[in-house]
Structure 1
């Protein structure tokens, strides 16, 4: 598989925990009921985004997982008015770049929740 270049926006994950640690943490929080639905959807979508960086854009399985994650986050934010970033869920930019929505929202969340 040919590695594809990463977007400059991928720096949003610079201080994110490694994939295994983050997966274990959000699953543990979810089982204990200590993570909000929104944080679960956001962090899960960010994990999916990170796990699929460099994947072949023609890989239907990868794209379906990514679309499902971002779709759930956008649906939740639309229904609850919980978009944190400047571009809301109905912005046309997300049709062309759904990963951008995850990254916008994760960057804002990470500012208050992650230590460098």
Structure 2
């Protein structure tokens, strides 16, 4: 499951490219009304649904957050998962450190 490929991430802060990608992902979450499903994972929910003010804090994403995301994403339309996973895969390549780990984990969770 997700915990095998998605490691916990501590003190995650987003750079400019990641912020822009998150805005695009938020549009998909809003478009497909996925926010309620994300409520099961409070950290992931905060990242994908809250205002840009949330970018100023460091996030801690644990194994349980990844596990819950993988579970709720199982009910999402494949097209949405693919759009978000593609965005995440591109950002994994174009970022470093914990940001790259986050994007890689997101991509992996959506593919499983």
TM-score of the aligned structures, taking structure 2 as reference length: 0.34
TM-score if structure 1 supplies the norm length? 0.33
Considering Cα pairs closer than 8 Å and 6+ residues apart, tell me whether 1 or 2 has the greater RCO. 2
- Larger proportion of strand: 2
Q: Please identify the structure whose Cα radius of gyration is greater.
A: 1
